[in-house]
Amino acid sequence: MNQQKSLMNLLLVSTAAFSGYQKGANTHYRSQQINTNHAYRNENLNVPNPSLQNNPINANTTYSNTMQVSSQAPCVTSGTPSATATAQADNTLLPALLAALYAADEAIGINPEATGPFSLPPLEYDYNALVPYTSEETLRIHYNQLHRRYVNNLNTALACCPEFYNYTLQEFLLFPDRLPSGVQTQIVNNAGGDYNHSLTWKLIGPPNNTRSTGDFASVIDKQFGSFENLKSILKQTALSVFGTGYAWLTLNPYGRMIVVTTGQQLTPIPLRTVPLLLIDVYEHAYFLDYESNRGEYVDQLFNLVNWNRVASRYDAAMNIFNNVNELG
Ligand code: MN3
Protein backbone atom coordinates (compact mmCIF):
# COMPACT_ATOMS: atom_id res chain seq x y z
CA MET A 1 0.00 0.00 0.00
CA ASN A 2 2.81 2.39 0.93
CA GLN A 3 4.56 1.48 -2.24
CA GLN A 4 1.44 2.17 -4.25
CA LYS A 5 1.07 5.49 -2.52
CA SER A 6 4.63 6.53 -3.18
CA LEU A 7 4.38 5.55 -6.81
CA MET A 8 1.21 7.55 -7.14
CA ASN A 9 3.05 10.50 -5.62
CA LEU A 10 5.80 10.07 -8.13
CA LEU A 11 3.32 10.18 -10.98
CA LEU A 12 1.62 13.22 -9.56
CA VAL A 13 4.86 15.05 -8.95
CA SER A 14 6.30 14.34 -12.36
CA THR A 15 3.07 15.39 -14.00
CA ALA A 16 2.73 18.46 -11.82
CA ALA A 17 6.32 19.49 -12.38
CA PHE A 18 5.81 19.06 -16.06
CA SER A 19 2.59 21.04 -16.09
CA GLY A 20 4.65 24.16 -15.44
CA TYR A 21 5.75 23.94 -19.06
CA GLN A 22 2.27 23.95 -20.48
CA LYS A 23 0.93 26.87 -22.35
CA GLY A 24 -2.47 28.48 -22.11
CA ALA A 25 -5.51 26.32 -22.35
CA ASN A 26 -3.83 23.49 -24.15
CA THR A 27 -4.95 20.46 -22.24
CA HIS A 28 -3.91 17.90 -24.80
CA TYR A 29 -0.36 17.96 -23.51
CA ARG A 30 -1.51 17.16 -20.01
CA SER A 31 -3.89 14.42 -21.05
CA GLN A 32 -1.18 12.88 -23.19
CA GLN A 33 1.04 12.72 -20.16
CA ILE A 34 -1.66 11.24 -17.96
CA ASN A 35 -2.56 8.65 -20.54
CA THR A 36 1.04 7.68 -20.79
CA ASN A 37 1.26 7.34 -17.05
CA HIS A 38 -1.67 4.97 -17.18
CA ALA A 39 0.37 2.81 -19.47
CA TYR A 40 3.24 2.83 -17.02
CA ARG A 41 0.96 1.92 -14.19
CA ASN A 42 -0.19 -1.16 -16.03
CA GLU A 43 3.23 -2.34 -17.01
CA ASN A 44 5.92 -1.18 -14.79
CA LEU A 45 5.06 0.28 -11.47
CA ASN A 46 5.49 -2.69 -9.23
CA VAL A 47 9.22 -2.20 -9.01
CA PRO A 48 10.56 -0.72 -5.77
CA ASN A 49 12.90 2.13 -6.42
CA PRO A 50 15.29 2.69 -3.55
CA SER A 51 17.87 4.41 -5.74
CA LEU A 52 15.63 7.43 -6.11
CA GLN A 53 16.03 8.02 -2.40
CA ASN A 54 19.75 8.58 -2.73
CA ASN A 55 21.55 11.75 -3.52
CA PRO A 56 21.79 11.77 -7.32
CA ILE A 57 25.55 12.16 -7.30
CA ASN A 58 26.02 9.15 -5.03
CA ALA A 59 23.35 7.02 -6.59
CA ASN A 60 25.79 5.02 -8.68
CA THR A 61 27.23 3.43 -5.56
CA THR A 62 24.10 1.29 -5.29
CA TYR A 63 24.26 -0.04 -8.83
CA SER A 64 24.96 -3.67 -9.39
CA ASN A 65 23.44 -4.39 -12.78
CA THR A 66 25.61 -5.23 -15.72
CA MET A 67 25.39 -3.00 -18.75
CA GLN A 68 23.80 -4.87 -21.61
CA VAL A 69 24.80 -3.59 -25.00
CA SER A 70 23.55 -5.17 -28.17
CA SER A 71 24.82 -4.23 -31.59
CA GLN A 72 21.86 -1.87 -31.90
CA ALA A 73 22.16 -0.29 -28.49
CA PRO A 74 23.75 3.06 -27.73
CA CYS A 75 27.35 2.78 -26.56
CA VAL A 76 28.50 4.53 -23.41
CA THR A 77 31.93 6.02 -23.91
CA SER A 78 32.23 8.36 -20.97
CA GLY A 79 30.46 8.64 -17.67
CA THR A 80 29.02 5.92 -15.50
CA PRO A 81 27.86 2.84 -17.38
CA SER A 82 26.56 1.21 -14.22
CA ALA A 83 24.36 4.21 -13.60
CA THR A 84 22.95 3.88 -17.07
CA ALA A 85 22.36 0.18 -16.61
CA THR A 86 20.40 0.81 -13.46
CA ALA A 87 18.39 3.54 -15.09
CA GLN A 88 17.54 1.08 -17.85
CA ALA A 89 16.44 -1.54 -15.37
CA ASP A 90 14.40 0.85 -13.28
CA ASN A 91 11.03 1.23 -14.94
CA THR A 92 9.67 3.49 -12.22
CA LEU A 93 11.79 6.20 -13.80
CA LEU A 94 9.76 6.19 -16.99
CA PRO A 95 7.12 8.81 -16.14
CA ALA A 96 9.78 11.25 -14.96
CA LEU A 97 11.98 10.46 -17.94
CA LEU A 98 9.21 11.16 -20.42
CA ALA A 99 8.28 14.37 -18.61
CA ALA A 100 11.94 15.42 -18.67
CA LEU A 101 12.23 14.66 -22.39
CA TYR A 102 9.19 16.84 -23.09
CA ALA A 103 10.34 19.63 -20.80
CA ALA A 104 13.81 19.70 -22.38
CA ASP A 105 12.30 19.94 -25.86
CA GLU A 106 9.83 22.62 -24.91
CA ALA A 107 12.65 24.63 -23.29
CA ILE A 108 14.31 25.07 -26.69
CA GLY A 109 11.17 25.75 -28.70
CA ILE A 110 10.35 22.26 -29.95
CA ASN A 111 6.69 21.28 -29.74
CA PRO A 112 6.90 18.05 -27.73
CA GLU A 113 3.22 17.23 -28.04
CA ALA A 114 3.33 16.77 -31.82
CA THR A 115 1.80 13.50 -32.95
CA GLY A 116 1.20 11.91 -36.32
CA PRO A 117 0.95 12.61 -39.08
CA PHE A 118 4.16 14.52 -38.54
CA SER A 119 5.37 17.58 -40.42
CA LEU A 120 8.79 19.06 -41.07
CA PRO A 121 9.40 21.66 -38.33
CA PRO A 122 10.33 25.12 -39.60
CA LEU A 123 14.00 26.10 -39.75
CA GLU A 124 14.48 29.30 -37.78
CA TYR A 125 17.40 30.62 -39.85
CA ASP A 126 18.34 30.92 -43.52
CA TYR A 127 20.20 28.22 -45.39
CA ASN A 128 23.30 30.43 -45.48
CA ALA A 129 23.19 31.25 -41.76
CA LEU A 130 25.80 28.67 -40.76
CA VAL A 131 28.45 29.84 -43.24
CA PRO A 132 31.44 29.48 -43.13
CA TYR A 133 31.24 26.39 -40.92
CA THR A 134 28.41 24.69 -42.80
CA SER A 135 27.66 25.66 -46.37
CA GLU A 136 24.31 26.74 -47.72
CA GLU A 137 24.22 23.68 -49.95
CA THR A 138 24.87 21.28 -47.08
CA LEU A 139 22.16 22.79 -44.89
CA ARG A 140 19.66 22.92 -47.73
CA ILE A 141 20.13 19.25 -48.59
CA HIS A 142 20.34 18.16 -44.96
CA TYR A 143 17.19 19.93 -43.86
CA ASN A 144 15.02 20.18 -46.93
CA GLN A 145 15.75 16.79 -48.45
CA LEU A 146 17.05 14.42 -45.78
CA HIS A 147 15.10 15.59 -42.73
CA ARG A 148 11.98 15.88 -44.87
CA ARG A 149 12.49 12.31 -46.06
CA TYR A 150 12.55 10.98 -42.49
CA VAL A 151 9.29 12.77 -41.76
CA ASN A 152 7.64 11.49 -44.93
CA ASN A 153 8.86 7.93 -44.37
CA LEU A 154 7.60 8.01 -40.79
CA ASN A 155 4.16 9.07 -41.99
CA THR A 156 4.17 6.36 -44.64
CA ALA A 157 4.98 3.74 -42.01
CA LEU A 158 2.32 5.08 -39.64
CA ALA A 159 -0.38 4.98 -42.27
CA CYS A 160 -0.71 1.27 -41.63
CA CYS A 161 -1.50 1.68 -37.94
CA PRO A 162 -3.49 4.82 -37.20
CA GLU A 163 -3.93 3.71 -33.61
CA PHE A 164 -0.43 5.13 -33.09
CA TYR A 165 -1.36 8.60 -34.32
CA ASN A 166 -1.61 9.69 -30.69
CA TYR A 167 2.02 8.78 -29.99
CA THR A 168 4.73 11.40 -29.74
CA LEU A 169 8.19 10.86 -31.24
CA GLN A 170 9.53 10.36 -27.75
CA GLU A 171 7.03 7.58 -27.10
CA PHE A 172 7.98 5.74 -30.28
CA LEU A 173 11.61 5.92 -29.21
CA LEU A 174 10.99 4.91 -25.59
CA PHE A 175 8.45 2.14 -26.27
CA PRO A 176 9.37 0.51 -29.59
CA ASP A 177 8.08 -2.84 -28.35
CA ARG A 178 4.53 -1.54 -28.51
CA LEU A 179 4.76 -1.18 -32.27
CA PRO A 180 3.71 -3.90 -34.73
CA SER A 181 6.79 -5.92 -35.62
CA GLY A 182 6.29 -5.40 -39.34
CA VAL A 183 6.74 -1.62 -39.12
CA GLN A 184 8.67 -1.28 -35.87
CA THR A 185 12.07 -0.76 -37.48
CA GLN A 186 10.75 1.66 -40.06
CA ILE A 187 8.92 3.73 -37.46
CA VAL A 188 11.77 3.79 -34.95
CA ASN A 189 14.42 4.65 -37.55
CA ASN A 190 12.41 7.45 -39.10
CA ALA A 191 11.07 8.78 -35.78
CA GLY A 192 14.71 8.90 -34.71
CA GLY A 193 15.66 10.68 -37.92
CA ASP A 194 12.96 13.29 -37.36
CA TYR A 195 13.73 13.69 -33.64
CA ASN A 196 17.50 13.89 -34.12
CA HIS A 197 17.35 16.50 -36.85
CA SER A 198 14.68 18.57 -35.08
CA LEU A 199 17.05 18.71 -32.10
CA THR A 200 20.05 19.52 -34.27
CA TRP A 201 18.47 22.57 -35.94
CA LYS A 202 17.60 24.03 -32.54
CA LEU A 203 20.97 23.31 -30.93
CA ILE A 204 23.09 24.82 -33.67
CA GLY A 205 22.65 28.22 -35.25
CA PRO A 206 24.55 31.18 -36.63
CA PRO A 207 28.17 31.34 -35.41
CA ASN A 208 28.23 32.42 -31.78
CA ASN A 209 30.51 32.55 -28.80
CA THR A 210 28.24 30.88 -26.28
CA ARG A 211 29.67 28.50 -23.74
CA SER A 212 28.24 26.69 -20.75
CA THR A 213 27.01 28.93 -17.96
CA GLY A 214 25.30 28.71 -14.59
CA ASP A 215 24.55 25.40 -12.88
CA PHE A 216 25.18 23.57 -16.12
CA ALA A 217 28.72 24.97 -16.32
CA SER A 218 29.62 24.00 -12.77
CA VAL A 219 28.25 20.49 -13.23
CA ILE A 220 30.31 20.12 -16.42
CA ASP A 221 33.42 21.19 -14.52
CA LYS A 222 32.61 18.69 -11.77
CA GLN A 223 31.81 15.75 -14.03
CA PHE A 224 34.18 16.34 -16.97
CA GLY A 225 36.92 18.50 -15.48
CA SER A 226 36.30 21.49 -17.73
CA PHE A 227 34.22 22.74 -20.63
CA GLU A 228 37.20 22.31 -22.97
CA ASN A 229 37.62 18.74 -21.77
CA LEU A 230 33.96 17.98 -22.45
CA LYS A 231 34.37 19.25 -26.01
CA SER A 232 37.48 17.11 -26.41
CA ILE A 233 35.60 14.02 -25.19
CA LEU A 234 32.72 14.77 -27.54
CA LYS A 235 35.13 15.13 -30.46
CA GLN A 236 36.98 11.89 -29.70
CA THR A 237 33.65 10.12 -29.27
CA ALA A 238 32.39 11.49 -32.59
CA LEU A 239 35.58 10.24 -34.24
CA SER A 240 35.00 6.80 -32.71
CA VAL A 241 31.66 6.25 -34.45
CA PHE A 242 32.17 3.62 -37.12
CA GLY A 243 30.22 4.53 -40.21
CA THR A 244 27.14 6.64 -39.58
CA GLY A 245 25.58 7.79 -36.35
CA TYR A 246 25.89 10.32 -33.57
CA ALA A 247 27.88 11.34 -30.53
CA TRP A 248 25.68 12.57 -27.70
CA LEU A 249 25.89 14.43 -24.43
CA THR A 250 23.07 13.02 -22.31
CA LEU A 251 21.68 13.38 -18.80
CA ASN A 252 20.46 10.46 -16.72
CA PRO A 253 17.77 10.72 -14.03
CA TYR A 254 20.42 10.76 -11.30
CA GLY A 255 21.86 14.03 -12.54
CA ARG A 256 24.87 12.51 -14.26
CA MET A 257 25.89 13.56 -17.74
CA ILE A 258 27.08 10.75 -19.98
CA VAL A 259 28.66 10.83 -23.44
CA VAL A 260 27.40 8.03 -25.70
CA THR A 261 27.28 7.05 -29.35
CA THR A 262 24.50 5.62 -31.45
CA GLY A 263 24.53 4.14 -34.93
CA GLN A 264 22.24 5.16 -37.78
CA GLN A 265 19.31 7.25 -36.50
CA LEU A 266 19.06 5.57 -33.10
CA THR A 267 18.82 7.75 -30.01
CA PRO A 268 20.07 7.38 -26.43
CA ILE A 269 16.49 7.51 -25.13
CA PRO A 270 16.43 3.69 -24.64
CA LEU A 271 19.34 4.19 -22.23
CA ARG A 272 16.87 6.20 -20.12
CA THR A 273 18.72 9.43 -20.72
CA VAL A 274 17.71 12.88 -21.91
CA PRO A 275 19.69 14.05 -24.95
CA LEU A 276 21.34 17.42 -24.29
CA LEU A 277 23.51 17.77 -27.42
CA LEU A 278 24.20 15.65 -30.48
CA ILE A 279 26.81 15.61 -33.20
CA ASP A 280 25.63 14.18 -36.51
CA VAL A 281 28.51 12.25 -38.07
CA TYR A 282 26.69 11.07 -41.15
CA GLU A 283 28.84 12.16 -44.06
CA HIS A 284 25.86 14.08 -45.42
CA ALA A 285 26.43 16.52 -42.54
CA TYR A 286 29.95 17.47 -43.60
CA PHE A 287 31.28 15.81 -46.74
CA LEU A 288 30.61 18.73 -49.10
CA ASP A 289 32.42 21.11 -46.75
CA TYR A 290 35.11 18.97 -45.12
CA GLU A 291 35.30 15.92 -47.41
CA SER A 292 36.26 13.03 -45.13
CA ASN A 293 37.83 15.17 -42.37
CA ARG A 294 35.34 14.45 -39.60
CA GLY A 295 37.63 15.88 -36.89
CA GLU A 296 37.83 19.28 -38.57
CA TYR A 297 34.06 19.25 -39.05
CA VAL A 298 33.50 18.62 -35.34
CA ASP A 299 36.01 21.32 -34.34
CA GLN A 300 34.20 23.86 -36.52
CA LEU A 301 30.74 22.66 -35.54
CA PHE A 302 31.44 23.87 -32.00
CA ASN A 303 31.33 27.41 -33.45
CA LEU A 304 27.65 26.81 -34.21
CA VAL A 305 26.51 25.10 -31.00
CA ASN A 306 24.13 27.22 -28.95
CA TRP A 307 25.26 26.26 -25.45
CA ASN A 308 22.56 28.41 -23.88
CA ARG A 309 20.02 26.01 -25.32
CA VAL A 310 21.99 22.96 -24.23
CA ALA A 311 21.95 24.46 -20.72
CA SER A 312 18.20 25.10 -21.04
CA ARG A 313 17.66 21.41 -21.78
CA TYR A 314 19.77 20.48 -18.76
CA ASP A 315 17.90 22.88 -16.46
CA ALA A 316 14.46 21.74 -17.65
CA ALA A 317 15.24 18.04 -17.27
CA MET A 318 16.92 18.49 -13.89
CA ASN A 319 13.89 20.39 -12.65
CA ILE A 320 11.81 17.27 -13.28
CA PHE A 321 14.38 14.84 -11.89
CA ASN A 322 14.98 16.91 -8.75
CA ASN A 323 11.27 16.91 -7.98
CA VAL A 324 11.20 13.14 -8.22
CA ASN A 325 14.34 12.66 -6.16
CA GLU A 326 13.04 14.94 -3.42
CA LEU A 327 10.18 12.50 -2.91
CA GLY A 328 12.57 9.99 -1.37
MN1 MN3 B 1 21.78 14.10 -40.63
What average pLDDT score do residues 118-145 get?
98
More confident residue, 87 or 178: 178
CA of 67 relative to ligand 1 center, distance in Å: 28
Percent of the chain, pLDDT > 70?
72
> How many alpha carbons fall within 13 Å on the CB side of residue 112?
24
The pLDDT-based confidence of 95 (bands split at 50, 70, 90) is very high
CA of 15 relative to ligand 1 center, distance in Å: 33
pLDDT, one tens digit per residue, over 38-63 is 232 223 322 223 233 222 322 222 22
Per-residue confidence (pLDDT) for residue 19, from 0 to 100? 38
CA of 4 relative to ligand 1 center, distance in Å: 43
CA of 297 relative to ligand 1 center, distance in Å: 13
Q: Lowest mean pLDDT: which of 37-41, 88-92, 119-123?
A: 37-41
Q: Lowest mean pLDDT: which of 57-71, 171-185, 291-305?
A: 57-71
CA of 156 relative to ligand 1 center, distance in Å: 20
Mean confidence (pLDDT) of the chain: 79
CA of 56 relative to ligand 1 center, distance in Å: 33
What average pLDDT score do residues 169-186 get?
95
pLDDT, one tens digit per residue, over 132-164 is 999 999 999 999 999 999 999 999 999 999 999
What average pLDDT score do residues 78-106 get?
78
Q: Lowest mean pLDDT: which of 12-21, 63-72, 133-142, 251-260?
A: 63-72
CA of 284 relative to ligand 1 center, distance in Å: 6
CA of 280 relative to ligand 1 center, distance in Å: 6
The pLDDT-based confidence of 86 (bands split at 50, 70, 90) is low
CA of 147 relative to ligand 1 center, distance in Å: 7
| pLDDT of 17 strictly over 60 | no
Per-residue confidence (pLDDT) for residue 38, from 0 to 100? 28
Instruction: Give pairs for 213-221: CB < 8 Å, separation 24+.
Output: 213/307, 213/308, 213/311, 214/311, 214/315, 215/311, 215/314, 215/315, 215/318, 216/310, 216/311, 216/314, 216/315, 217/311, 219/255, 219/257, 219/314, 220/257
CA of 91 relative to ligand 1 center, distance in Å: 31
What average pLDDT score do residues 277-297 get?
96
| pLDDT of 189 strictly over 60 | yes
Contact status, residue 220 vs residue 257, Cβ threshold 8 Å = yes
